[in-house]
Structure formats: structure tokens, C-alpha cells
A and B are shown apart, each in its own frame.
Chain A
Amino acid sequence: QKEVEQDPGPLSVPEGAIVSLNCTYSNSAFQYFMWYRQYSRKGPELLMYTYSSGNKEDGRFTAQVDKSSKYISLFIRDSQPSDSATYLCAMRMTYNTNAGKSTFGDGTTLTVKP
């Protein structure tokens, strides 16, 4: 079983819709939670990150972490065609022996139709 599970989709929504992307994980030692966006034939780019549980908002994007359920979400409000990409969740522990490693989900492919 993978440490991080993410529904690959694909997910197709109309422009203006609210999008919900989710990941579950099994390792309770994960403390940092990230969302990356990857456009076709490009490297991933960090969209948002949160430490431990809670919410974080940045413009149209909101990241939520529920450590008790081992579940993280990314919400996109007023989705735009330019949001069409693959979204990858990533997680990292904090103690030194694994400080360098980020574990990624498989990614969810999102298409926003005009």
C-alpha cells in the first residue's frame, strides 16, 4: 500500500466551478503538506504548503489538513481554464533522518472547460 493515495481522475469541470482535490496518507509522522501544480511537459511548481493541521488560503486556493483523519484537501474557487493541470500532493516528515524526503501522490489531472 502506498504511503500517499491520490485519485488520478481525470476531473473535468466547467469554468467557475469549485474544485476539490484530495489525498489520504498512512504515515502519522508527516508534518509538512504541500500541493504542486504541473502543466503538461513541465516540472511541478509549489502552489501551497501547510504545517501540521489547519487551513491556509491564498487567493482562489485553500489548503486543508486533517491529521486526525490523515486527509488533506485543496479547494479551487472560481476555477479558470488556466487551472487545467495535474495537481500533486506531497508530504514530508521533520526529524533529521528523513528531513530531505518528500513523498508524492500520483497526481490528479484537472481540466476546466470554458
Chain B
Amino acid sequence: NAGVTQTPKFQVLKTGQSMTLQCAQDMNHEYMSWYRQDPGMGLRLIHYSVGAGITDQGEVPNGYNVSRSTTEDFPLRLLSAAPSQTSVYFCATRGRGSEKLFFGSGTQLSVL
């Protein structure tokens, strides 16, 4: 039981490049979400999903796309990376009826 797995752990991009951050969970949780964490700005919600086929925007969705074709996977796509997207990204999941968010170990992204 791996919990929430994020890949890659580190990534460096050039401005304008695109990439996908992967998030996979093996806990059969319906709710999955992506946060970014920046110094002095805490955790900010990017996108979230309450089940396969359902996604919605969070607080800071611009520049990011998501899809949820399966219960297990919730990839985050950066369409055209910008230096402002340099951050640590966390995927988090929650089971039905639970208040506990399970976080992955994070992806450190630098955009040059």
C-alpha cells in the first residue's frame, strides 16, 4: 500500500516548455487535489476532483489543466511553463466521509 505517489520528485523546465506531474493513489479515494506551496503563501488549491470524470477549479487554476479518467490517477499538466510556476506541488487525496487529507511527498519544480 503505497498511499499517494508523486512523480517526478524534482524537475527543471525552460520557459514555454510543457510537462505533466503525475499523481497516483491506491486507497480508492474519491477526492483528489493539487496544491502548490510557496514561501509566505501557504498551500493554494489549483484543481480538484470529487470522482472519475469530474474536475473543478481551485484558487489558482490558470496555466494548469487536469483530467480524471480513473479513480487512481490525477495528472496535472503545465501547458506553457512560466517562472511564476516555480513552486513545490503536492497531490492530496481524501476518502469518503473522512476529513483526513493524505499528501504525496511533493514535486519541486523550477522554471528558468
Contact = CB atoms under 8 A, between A and B. Distances in A.
Answer whether A and B are interacting partners.
yes
Interface residues of A, number: 24
B56 to A, nearest CB: 7
A43 B40 contact: no
Interface in B28-57: 31, 33, 35, 40-45, 48-50, 56
B103 A49 contact: no
B105 interface: yes
Interface in A15-44: 32, 34, 36, 41-44
Give the dominant DSSP class at A's interface.
Answer: strand
Contacts, number: 54
Contacts of A100: 31, 33, 48-50, 56, 94
A43 B100 contact: no
Contacts of A90: 43, 101
10 closest pairs, A vs B, by CB?
Answer: A43-B103, A106-B42, A104-B43, A46-B100, A49-B99, A100-B48, A104-B42, A100-B50, A44-B103, A43-B105
Interface of B: 4, 31, 33, 35, 40-45, 48-50, 56, 58, 90, 92, 94, 99-101, 103-106
